[in-house]
Amino acid sequence: MDEWVFIALLHNLSVKTALGNEYISVASMTDPRVEELRSRSSAFCQLLGHFTDQFQRPVQPSLLLLRRDVSPDFDSLRAFRNALAFSCIVKAWEGIIAYGIQGEHLRFSNYLDFYPYTLSKDEQYLLVHTSSQFGADDPSRFQGQSSPELVRLWQHDDFYDETLFHTILELWTNRYVRRKTREWRTLALFRSLEMAYRASAAPQLHMYDYGAQLALWVSAFEILVHPKTDKADLERVLHILGQSAFIQPRLKQRLYPVVLGRKRTKTRVNLIQKTYYEMYSCRNDFLHGNPVSFSKLFPAKNPTYHSLLPCAVLIYKCALMVFLKIFGQLPDCDVSELNDLSEEKIKEMVRLSMCQSYVERALLNMRTPK
């Protein structure tokens, strides 16, 4: 068990079952891999055992663990965290918008924030390293607290999009662990996910904060499609969204007129392209000081719909699925051929089908009253 080391706490997240791969993992406090650390470090026990919410109710944070032979590069740790966060957030919003599921949801990236205190190298003290302070403290009087602005969530298992997460995790492993690739494409992916993490934070309840977060979402899209040697712009984002291989006919139809570029070229786009176009326009108004209105934060300026922020989550998943080449990749086989497929292949078909069908159903409900 000593082959794993503790890296950080996720003080707003409680998991039942560990997730990750053979190199990195998010685990619960009761995971067998932490027992060795508990036995040798009283500071670690103090860190884990004294977390509450603001009303002194016990909280069980999750732990980020890394295999000892993997270099703890902070960029790679954030990249892993960002991939998991988006996989959680999109699953939450799909459930809310597609199925009207009420209750506990990991809707915001704050649930995956790293707690600023961690163990010193000798495992005797607690270290803090933020933009405002750097130092060490005696752990004996430590009292940790979850973030008061977030609804307290209980332990979950099925809380993230496994297909999306594990596809990104394989690219993460190749880039940061196996060092097989350092190309622009994966750098763009993880830079984009970093921006998506910032864009997915719980917004303040005023329209200017919503507008600022829409700007971050537009940036996340543009970073993802950036060709490195040229510029990313509205047309490039619309192009990748136009490659979404939808199953639902309504999502394929180009029913919405838009005007593009300096030449004011008129064209027709599909539903997700139109919604991104509205995001882009709204972002320009907020960032450039143009007149703004509350209604512009919603698709078709209709406040009875979900705001453009959760719509951005759904559309970003479409862009990721195109980028990762998992959109429309369901095997084309007849029912009679299913018996010839392996169990693992059938499971893969089911996972891909669910990954795509959930987001399509949510997209169809973007422009229906809440």
The whole-angstrom separation of Cα 9 and Cα 64 is: 6
Q: Tens digit of pLDDT for each residue in 118-164? A: 999 888 899 998 889 999 999 998 999 999 999 888 766 789 999 99
Average pLDDT for the chain: 91
Which residues, 6 or more positions from 271, have their beta carbon under 8 angstroms from its beta carbon?
250, 251, 253, 255, 256, 363, 366, 367
Supply the pLDDT for residue 341. 61
The whole-angstrom separation of Cα 264 and Cα 258 is: 9
Supply the pLDDT for residue 156. 67
Token digits of residue 294: 């509350």
Helix 207-225 crosses helix 234-241 at what angle (to 10 degrees)?
70
Q: What one-character DSSP code corresponds to residue 186?
A: H
Supply the pLDDT for residue 64. 97
Mean pLDDT of 215-230: 97
Q: Tens digit of pLDDT for each residue in 322-354? A: 999 998 766 555 555 556 666 666 677 778 888
Q: Give strand pairing partners of 128.
A: 117, 135
Supply the pLDDT for residue 105. 81
Q: For residue 57, which of 126, 157, 158, 151 has the smallest C-alpha distance?
A: 151
Which residues, 6 or more positions from 310, have their beta carbon under 8 angstroms from its beta carbon?
93, 96, 97, 107
H or E segment to which residue 40 belongs: helix 35-40
* Share of the chain residues as helix, strand and coil, in percent rounded to the nearest 5: 50, 15, 40
Q: What percent of the chain has pLDDT over 90?
A: 75
Range of lowest pLDDT (91-105, 227-241, 276-290): 91-105
The whole-angstrom separation of Cα 9 and Cα 118 is: 7
In this structure, how many other beta carbons lie within 10 angstroms of the beta carbon of residue 165?
Answer: 22
Q: What percent of the chain has pLDDT over 70?
A: 94
Q: Which residue has the higher pLDDT, 57 or 339?
A: 57
Q: Given phi > 0 = left and psi -120 to 50 = alpha, else beta, which region is 20?
A: left
Supply the pLDDT for residue 262. 83
The full set of domain ranges for the chain reads 4-165, 203-364
pLDDT of 100 over the 60 cut? yes
77 near 112, Cβ under 8 Å? no
The whole-angstrom separation of Cα 266 and Cα 246 is: 24
Q: Tens digit of pLDDT for each residue in 232-276? A: 999 999 999 999 999 999 999 999 999 998 888 999 999 999 999
Mean pLDDT of 195-213: 96
Q: Find the length of the chain.
A: 370
pLDDT of 10 over the 60 cut? yes
Q: Tens digit of pLDDT for each residue in 60-75? A: 999 999 999 998 899 9
The whole-angstrom separation of Cα 264 and Cα 103 is: 45
pLDDT of 40 over the 80 cut? yes
Token digits of residue 119: 């163990």
Token digits of residue 177: 């662990």
Q: Tens digit of pLDDT for each residue in 157-196? A: 789 999 999 999 999 999 999 988 779 999 999 999 999 9
For 117-144, b/e burial (b = at least 16 CB within 10 A) is bbbeeeeeebeeeeeeeeeeeebeeeeb
pLDDT of 104 over the 80 cut? no
Q: Which residue has the higher pLDDT, 76 or 38?
A: 76
Supply the pLDDT for residue 153. 80
Q: For residue 157, which of 66, 91, 254 has the smallest C-alpha distance?
A: 91
For tokens 């707690």, name the residue. Answer: 115
Q: Which residue has the higher pLDDT, 333 or 215?
A: 215
Q: Which residue has the higher pLDDT, 2 or 36?
A: 36
